[in-house]
Amino acid sequence: MNITEAIEKVKPHLTVKRFEHTLRVADTAVKLAKRYDASQTKAELAAILHDYAKYRSLDEMERWIRKSTLPKDLLDYHHELWHGPVGAILIEREFGIRDKEIQSAVHYHTTGKAGMSILDKIIFLADYIEPGRSFPGINDVRKKAEQDLTHACLMASKNTITYLISKNTTVYPDSFHAYNDLTRQIIGGSSLHEK
């Protein structure tokens, strides 16, 4: 599937605002792919597809989680976390996209995970820093994204987890796994209380 086809397929499933967000994520992802020597084509395609399942009904997403190999514990967490994993399944079923790197980037774009690939990091970060976003501290993350992909992902992960905790929300384990793994990648064994 090429980019033009992907855009045409995804557009009717999204609101205008979400579609514009998607195009900005794609633009940001391509820039990051250039900067960090990743496939620009895969980054662009994964970005176009990343929120594909965002507006599926909760019933439909729940059914996909139950009948696929997706982790069932997703159902114990907020439904905002379902569209990435379900999207990774739907792009294969509906568009025949079996590229594991693209499926992984779509799957984990909301939470991250331990052991993210460069493409996973690019989509996770592009979704966070695209020019339409205005989170507290986002400009620092944007600046860091020009120099250090992993460190910028760590900042985004930390901001999101801190925000969720401030709202008394539960945090999906993969979000913590991402944070821990990115922290180890950035500061290694020098973390204060770690062996």
Contacts to Fe ion by CB under 5 A: 51, 127
Per-residue mark of binding to ligand DGI, 77-106 (x: CB under 6 A): xx-xx-------------------------
Q: Which amino acid is at 89?
A: I
- The one of ligand DGI, Fe ion, none whose footprint includes residue 191, by CB under 5 to 8 A per kind, is none
- DSSP-derived secondary structure for 57-82: -HHHHHHHHHHSSS-GGGGGS-GGGT
Residue 182 interacts with which of ligand DGI, Fe ion, none, CB < 5 to 8 Å by class: none
Contacts made by residues 171-174, CB under 8 angstroms, sequence distance 24+: 172/74, 172/77, 172/81, 172/111, 173/73, 174/108, 174/111, 174/112, 174/113, 174/114
Closer residue to ligand DGI in complex, CB, 58/188 = 58
Mark residues 150-169: x for contact with ligand DGI by CB under 6 A, - for none. ----------x---x----x
Instruction: Select the span of 28-36, 92-100, 108-116, 180-188 touching ligand DGI (CB under 6 A).
Output: 108-116
State yes or no: residue 23 binds ligand DGI (CB under 6 A).
Answer: no
Residue 111 binds ligand DGI, judged by CB under 6 A: yes
Q: Report the nearest approach of ligand DGI to the CB of residue 151 (Å).
A: 19
User: Which residue is it, tokens 């399944």?
Assistant: 89
Distance (Å, whole) CA 117 – CA 153: 12
Please, what is the minimum distance in Å from the beta carbon of residue 190 to Fe ion?
A: 33
CB 126 within 8 A of CB 151: no
| Residue 116 is a binding residue for ligand DGI (CB under 6 A) | no
- How far apart (Å, rounded) are the C-alpha atoms in residues 138 and 1? 33
137 three-state secondary structure = coil
